[in-house]
Structure 1
Amino acid sequence: MSTDTAAASSIRRDETVPIALLLAFAGGYLDAYTWIVHGVMANAQTANLVLLWVYGSIGDWTKALHFVPPILASAVGVVVATWLRRATRERASAISTLIEILLLVAIAVLHNRLPDLAGTLGISFVAAVQSAVFTRVEGVVYSSVTGNMRQAIEGVFAEVSGNGSLRPAGIFTTLCVTFGLGAAVGAFATKQIPNLALGIPVIALLIVLLRCEAPRDEASP
């Protein structure tokens, strides 16, 4: 067995590059969707926190409190994901992805009746679960729901300076592009097919689930 083959076979199925790219696409997509429909971020809770304080500082508490539900939903999602990792261990990625798929389908169904509750709380919860369960790509820490721009820049600098490998820089740069592509597709789909828009990230997550459950020789990059 070659060194590259051995290295590939040692990578956990939920840490492969294809899965990271699918999750980055879904992360960007859901951020665009929730921003356009609800005026909040599904993933970037720091942005929600900043906007909460900005509007609160000028006394516009109606707008400020609008950002509280997604922050709380995200916190609950992280707690649930942490418990899930402890309880199910290596099965956490597959189980959490299945939960995300079911919740997004339920959100899509409930959206017309309870738009704010289903969209703001549900999608922020889904995003938090994803970010807390999928934390590494090829053994390197990353975020499956943000652009990973800092890691991409550091990777490129390390490669240029001769102190790093080209592969990490390429992975993180591709993740940034994929996240942005997901946001662009999400914005377009939300405007053009609002009632079906959540179907696209569901498809991406279904592929993630299938890859997490695939035999080792099929899941390896």
Structure 2
Amino acid sequence: MSTLRIAATPLLRRDETITVALLLAFAGGCLDAYTWIIHGVMANAQTANLVLLWVHGMEGDWMRALQFGPPILAFAIGIVIAAWLRRATGERASAVSTLLEIVFLITIGILHNRMPEVAGTLGISLVAAMQAAIFTKVEGATYSTVMITGNMRQAIEGMFAAASGGVAAGTLRRSGIFTGVCCAFGLGAALGALTTKTVPDLALGLPVIVLLIVLLRCEAAHFEAKS
């Protein structure tokens, strides 16, 4: 007598939902706008920092060039911390990482008046790296919460594939998700720029609030699993 086995459909991880992806992209845009306006460097886009470092270096302006070095180094350290968190905390890495990001941003806001360069360029790049390394998927698809280049490429490819016909089910939906993430990042950059220019001392409060919402959603999934 054969036994009927029904494969259970795996539940979507809470940290891979569209809501979390949009919130994190919004926070990423806020942080990039803040560091560019205040410090003239990018928190997330290390490609831009590296290019500007060598552009100014080749012009002989090494004092200006070297200001792009610390955020690159801080980003690398953030990646290492994220890798350690994944190994140490397993399924709870997303919640623990988000909590640390919130603590770092609050600390940066407090220290910014006394040590603006250290707090701003190093701290925020470290936060951005942790977010980029921990939150890597939305509904199973690889994406980025701190830059839009790859997201834009996948959105356009999906639209083209859908328009050409003969694509797998869900392609257009996935393209819409990537488009939404790009728009959320842009909205975060716009509001981040606005708050940075109008109330610079409170500007980091916006991404902190967004990350608190992400943390609550990640923790809700943890408590649901325990109950």
5 Å matches for 1:12-31? 12-31=13-32
Do structure 1's residue 95 and structure 2's residue 96 form an aligned pair? yes
Please say if 1:145 is aligned against 2:153. Answer: no
Match of 2:175 in 1: 169
Distance 1:32 1:86, change over 3 A: same
CA displacement, residues 187-209 of structure 1 (integer Å, 9 cap, x when unaligned): 00000010100000000000000
CA distance 1:215–1:205, shift in 2 (3 Å): same
Q: CA deviation at 1:218?
A: 8.2
Q: Which residue of structure 1 aligns with residue 60 of structure 2?
A: 59
**What are the residue-to-residue correspondences of 1:115-194 with 2, within 5 Å?**
115-147=116-148, 148-162=151-165, 163-164=167-168, 165-194=171-200
Aligned-partner Cα distance in 2 for 1:127–1:59:
30
The Cα shift of 1:215 comes to 3.8
**What residue in structure 2 maps to residue 3 of structure 1?**
none
Quote the Cα distance in structure 1 between the aligned partners of 2:116 and 2:56. 23
On the 8 A contact 1:100/1:126 being kept in 2, the answer is: yes
The number of residues matched between the two structures is 213
Q: Distance in 2 between matches of 1:39 and 1:54?
A: 15
* Contact kept? 1:55, 1:61, Cα under 8 Å: yes
Query: Residue type of the partner of 1:130?
Result: Q
Cα deviation 1:85-122 (Å, max 9, x = unaligned): 11111100000000000000000000011000000000
Q: Secondary structure at the match of 2:201?
A: coil
Residue 211 (structure 1) aligned to one of 213, 217, 220: 217
Give TM-score, length-normalised by structure 1. 0.93
Change (3 A) 1:101 1:217: closer
CA RMSD for the aligned pairs? 1.6
Tell me which amino acid in the other structure corresponds to 1:151.
Answer: Q
AA at the equivalent of 1:158: A
Indicate the residue corresponding to 1:111 in structure 2.
112
Letter in structure 2 aligned against 1:72: L
Q: Which consecutive residues of structure 1, in runs of 5 or more, have no partner in the other structure?
A: 1-5
- Per the TM alignment, residue 182 of structure 1 is displaced from its structure 2 partner at its CA by 0.4
- Tell me if the contact between 1:159 and 1:169 (Cα under 8 Å) persists in the aligned partners: no
The Cα offsets for residues 149-197 of structure 1, whole Å up to 9 and x where unpaired, read as 1111112112111224211010000111110000000000000010100
Unaligned runs of 5+ in 2: 1-7
Cα deviation, 1:121-147, whole Å, max 9, x if unaligned, reads 000000000000000000100001112
Segments ≥4 residues shifted beyond 6 Å: 216-219
Taking the aligned partners of 1:216 and 1:210, their CA distance within structure 2 comes to 10
Among all aligned residue pairs of Structure 1 and Structure 2, give the percentage whose two residues are the same amino acid.
69
C-alpha distance in 2 between matches for 1:41 and 1:178: 18
Note the C-alpha offset of 1:41: 0.3
